[in-house]
Amino acid sequence: MQVLFLGSGTSYGVPMIGCGCAVCGSSDPRNKRTRASILVRAQGQTLLVDATPELRQQALRERLNHLDAILITHAHADHLFGLDDVRAFSHLRKEALPLYADAAALRIIRKNFDYAINDTAFALGWGVPRLTLHEIGASARVGEVEVIAVPIFHGPWTILGFRIGGFAYLTDCNGVPDSSLPLLKNVDTLVMGALRHESHPTHFTVAEALEMIEKIAPRRAYLTHISHQLDHQATEAALPERVRLAYDGLTLDLDDPLPSSLIVETTASGRATLEGFAVPARP
């Protein structure tokens, strides 16, 4: 299993339009952050998590030519408004791309991308992204890959993080409900949003993210959705060894996820749990 950071920046991107700060003017390529998104490759499947306004540049930079599914964490513009660009992928695979999101995000997607999703547009075929929309519920299966939806707080909204095997991705986040903690049990590699040092109504600060990472206790963690207030080198130097800052183009190699039969147990309430799941010891 492999995770590629397509983008690691907050909604403004870094550099930010009109800003003359040291980070925005920095020559360190790790301080150039497109909007937050990852690509997950697991068990022969390629999953895009969020479709940022920079999806086209991200795809060209990483020479992407295939997607099997799209996962959307929430319907804010910085996570969604590159969705039209997936039309190149849906044409290449010559069939519609499945998109998974929660009910709230699907409502906004249907409204904003009506031209692509209503029957008439779909019948036109090649001029629009060809998508099939699926409400994710507790989990979704893409080929053999089990994707577990992890509800998280993002200011006044409850949005989704995703867990795949020993990996979890919690971008825009300023709280994890207690009910989601069991879904993150024994996670090996955790990606957590951390905007800046000053507090923010809808995002964790670096200190708050570290506190939550401590609570979830993964083997290692990466911070993402980073603003221009954080210089890569200076910020990372002050982090604990097992927590690093993500940057555009960073690739993580993970062990193949355990068979989903070992991971997912659906409770009477329909919520997946991870009882009995254990990540094998790593060297």
Residue 76 binding Zn ion, by CB under 5 A? yes
Among residues 172 and 248, whose Cβ is nearest to Zn ion?
Answer: 172
Cβ neighbours of residue 66 closer than 8 Å, sequence gap 6 or more: 46, 89, 92, 93
Q: Does 146 bind Zn ion (CB under 5 A)?
A: no
Q: How far is CA 177 from the centre of its chain?
A: 18
- Determine if 78 is a binding residue for Zn ion (CB under 5 A): yes
* Closest separation in Å from C-beta 138 to Zn ion: 22
CB 108 within 8 A of CB 81: no
Is position 231 an interface residue for Zn ion (rule: CB under 5 A)? no
Residue pair 155/183 in contact (Cβ under 8 Å)? The answer is no
What element of type H or E holds 4? strand 2-7
Find the part of the chain contacting Zn ion (CB under 5 A) among 5-13, 109-117, 236-244, 258-266: 5-13
Nearer to Zn ion, 88 or 108 (CB): 108
- Per-residue binder mask for Zn ion (CB under 5 A), 23-42, x = binder: -x------------------
Binding to Zn ion, residues 6-25 (CB under 5 A): 11, 16, 19, 21, 24
* 121 part of the interface to Zn ion, by CB under 5 A: no
Q: Determine the Cα–Cα distance for residues 103 and 86; give it in Å rounded to an integer.
A: 21
Burial 235-258 (b: 16+ CB within 10 A, else e): beeebeeebbbbbbbbebebeebe
> Is 50 among the residues that bind Zn ion (CB under 5 A)?
no
Dist CA 195 CA 173 (whole Å): 9
Number of H helices, E strands in the chain: 9, 16
Supply φ then ψ for residue 34, to 5 degrees.
Answer: -80, 170
- Quick one: 90 or 171, whose CB is closer to Zn ion? 171
User: Does 248 help bind Zn ion (rule: CB under 5 A)?
Assistant: no
* Tokens at 63, concatenated: 């020479």
Which range, of 165-173, 175-183, 249-257, 266-274, touches Zn ion by CB under 5 A? 165-173
Question: Minimum distance from CB of 11 to Zn ion (Å)?
Answer: 5
**Looking at residue 143, what DSSP letter applies?**
T
- The footprint of Zn ion on this chain (CB under 5 A) covers a number of residues equal to 9
CB of 235 to Zn ion, least distance (A): 14
CB of 77 to Zn ion, least distance (A): 8
CA–CA distance, 52 with 277 (Å, rounded to integer): 33
Residue 86, token pair as written in the block: 């997936």
User: In the range 166-185, which residues lie near Zn ion by CB under 5 A?
Assistant: 172
- 77 binds Zn ion per the rule CB under 5 A: no
Give the interface with Zn ion as residue ranges (CB under 5 A).
Answer: 11, 16, 19, 21, 24, 76, 78, 172, 228
